[in-house]
Structure 1
Amino acid sequence: MKASAGFSPVPGEEPGCHLSKKAKVCLGILLCVLVAGTIVAVVVGVLKWPRTPPHREWNGTGTTPHFSEIVLGRCYTYTQVLRPELRLYSTKQPEKSFETHKDCGQIGKAFMNAFLSKDPCNSSEQDYQLLLKLTNQTTPCHTNVFWSKSNQLAHQYTRVRQDMFTLEDTLMGYIADGLDWCGDAGSSEMNYQSCPHRRKDCINNPTSVFWDTVSKRFAENACGVVQVVLNGSISNTFDENSTFGRVEIHNLHPGKVSRLQAWVMHDIGGVHSHSCSSPIINDLKFILSKRNISFTCQDDYRPIKFLQCVKNPDHSSCSSII
């Protein structure tokens, strides 16, 4: 077979296309230009790619580390262990009432969606409406225990009296107790560095609005005789600016709540700044009277006094208790 025009077969090789030296140089230059152009385009694209802006700095504590995992874990602990009557049953059990059962996966998503990608100083009650719906829980009448400036003592009492409920003994209160959280309008991430402080930055921050919202619901759902544990060893035993004084007593329904019973507790060995007969307690009584809710008060309620004396058994004030 004869070689075609333009081809010069080399002995031992098949005929092929052979470029001249000049053509090879030109091709190499062209490839270099194309590669360089691609690199420049990629670099420009990366530089122009929208980047998440840094989180704004606030005066409050940042989001609690592992926030979403804690929320989900606490939800399962509460519904599967502490209050199994709220457990989400399989759809293979149609005889179960699904109105009271809780889906922790949906609750966790609703919690995150309530504040992520939103201005942390423009939070509103509406942001938490789906979360409230998913965690709705009815406590029996006569079992609601409010507290003000007496967090630890009130919860010591409800841990012993497990038929009584503070807000933190309900599903939503249990999940969020002690946590901090916030995001930013320009980011889908949580701000772990800092969150708005109620007094130093803004009132309408995600955490403050949350507690006002769930406290309002807790008060609205209360019925029968309700209790409040107050601290008689401090100057502001009843504080109208506290969550109890600002939110809860104004959302008790007179048609549902017949009486508020106050327990004014004093620290073992501490001062007795106020008692049931103090003017500051009369302020509380007056607010309730305007709302047609009766009021009773007792100093150093004996069952709670027992709990105080368990930690201080040798104190003279406990000699008649233990």
Structure 2
Amino acid sequence: MIDRCLNFGTSTETAWNCEIIWSTFEDAFACKDECGLEEDSYSEYVEETRQDIPIDATLFWSGIDVIKDRAMNYSQSCGFVTLGDTLTGCLPDGLSWCGQEPEDEVIEDGCINYESCGKCESNRYTSSMGSFWSQVSSNLANMSSGMVSIMLSGEREGGAFRKESFLTDYELPSLNLGKVHTVRILLYDKTDEESCCNGTVLDLIGEIEDYGFNHTCVDDPDEIDEICEDGKEDRLEDASIFYQCATSTGRSTLTLSSIVYLPVLLSVCKLRNALSSW
């Protein structure tokens, strides 16, 4: 994790204090009950790794890892910013960690357990990793402005959008209505059951409406490509401080050593559905 931090920002004037960053990260969970963290346990780490997010640049994703990879590639090619592109999110990305209390039988690496995490299924958001990802997801949403984008896959088993997710529980509620004016859905892999007019995407539209945001939905891959190209060079310049985290997996890397409104959208969908039924 220290190596990732040292490599992040080497092409910019930003200098990160990587030992302090590691210390704030470790202090949040080491020697603590794996299932007993608070939602703000990583607040000092979040503050130490804070970066300003360019306007209209935030890209969330929800679902299978295929969408995660696609979202990361899209962001870095088109000038958007996902959580994994930020210093906050990239440092522990792909790693596993949890705390263990001092009275546990085996104590090593500063009361950090790398081998048997995942005992908090009853409330995954209070676990060492769950608390982290919920807090940093909320933080990215809170720092977003202008238009934010959400990437989904219509081929996701169970539907493109799920109500029990980080997107629903932390990201959407943390968007600031005073700073964000529109939420744009980018749906890949459209199917008869999942599109901007059908399926669980309509549930997401309802959620967005409930929070008071305008929204638009795009499920044509050519249009999604056009969104990438429109203003890409300016976005890439604004986001040049990101995309510098070459993630890897393994225990050693963690340690110090190493705009469409709902009535219009529904009208378009009704017309599309009517035509498809002919």
How does the TM-score come out when normalised to structure 1? 0.63
Q: Distance in 2 between matches of 1:166 and 1:253?
A: 17
1:29 alignment counterpart: none
Change (3 A) 1:202 1:251: closer
Task: Give the CA deviation at 1:158.
Answer: 1.4
Alignment of 1:185-224 (within 5 A): 185-186=101-102, 187=107, 188-199=110-121, 202-224=124-146
In terms of Rg, which structure is larger?
1
Runs of 4+ in 1 over 2 A off after TM superposition: 196-203, 300-306
Change (3 A) 1:255 1:204: same
Change (3 A) 1:197 1:264: farther
Higher relative contact order at CA 8 Å, sep ≥6: structure 1 or structure 2? 2
**Does the 8 A contact of 1:198 with 1:208 survive in 2?**
no
Task: Give the CA deviation at 1:298.
Answer: 0.7
**Does the 8 A contact of 2:34 with 2:120 survive in 1?**
no
2:218 alignment counterpart: 298
Counterpart amino acid of residue 300 in structure 1:
D
* Residue in structure 1 matching 2:153, options 223, 231, 241: 231
Counterpart amino acid of residue 128 in structure 1:
Y
Q: Secondary structure at the match of 1:119?
A: coil
Alignment of 1:1-322 (within 5 A): 71-81=1-11, 84-86=12-14, 88=15, 102-149=16-63, 150-161=67-78, 163-186=79-102, 187=107, 188-199=110-121, 202-234=124-156, 235-266=158-189, 272-302=192-222
Counterpart amino acid of residue 58 in structure 2:
N
Root mean square deviation of aligned Cα: 2.0
Counterpart amino acid of residue 77 in structure 1:
N
Q: Distance in 2 between matches of 1:244 and 1:145?
A: 11
1:60 alignment counterpart: none
Counterpart amino acid of residue 6 in structure 2:
Y
Counterpart amino acid of residue 146 in structure 1:
F
Q: Secondary structure at the match of 1:126?
A: coil
Counterpart amino acid of residue 285 in structure 1:
I
Identical pairs, percent: 29
Q: Secondary structure at the match of 1:213?
A: helix
Q: Distance in 2 between matches of 1:301 and 1:209?
A: 34
1:46 alignment counterpart: none
Q: Distance in 2 between matches of 1:159 and 1:203?
A: 29
Q: Secondary structure at the match of 1:114?
A: helix
Counterpart amino acid of residue 127 in structure 1:
S
Q: Distance in 2 between matches of 1:198 and 1:85?
A: 41
2:250 alignment counterpart: none
User: Which stretch of the first structure deviates more once superposed, 150-159 or 136-145?
Assistant: 150-159
Q: Distance in 1 between matches of 2:125 and 2:53?
A: 29
How does the TM-score come out when normalised to structure 2? 0.72
User: Which stretch of the first structure deviates more once superposed, 107-116 or 271-280?
Assistant: 271-280
Unmatched runs of 5 consecutive residues or more in structure 1 = 1-70, 89-101, 307-322
Q: Secondary structure at the match of 1:127?
A: coil
Q: Distance in 2 between matches of 1:263 and 1:210?
A: 26
Q: Distance in 2 between matches of 1:189 and 1:138?
A: 33
Task: Give the CA deviation at 1:200.
Answer: 6.2
Q: Distance in 2 between matches of 1:118 and 1:281?
A: 39
Task: Give the CA deviation at 1:138.
Answer: 0.8
Task: Give the CA deviation at 1:304.
Answer: 5.4
Q: Distance in 2 between matches of 1:302 and 1:286?
A: 25
**Does the 8 A contact of 1:116 with 1:183 survive in 2?**
yes
Q: Distance in 1 between matches of 2:20 and 2:135?
A: 19
Unmatched runs of 5 consecutive residues or more in structure 2 = 227-278
Q: Distance in 2 between matches of 1:197 and 1:215?
A: 22
Change (3 A) 1:189 1:198: closer
Give deviations 1:50-76, integer Å, cap 9, x for gaps. Answer: xxxxxxxxxxxxxxxxxxxxx101111
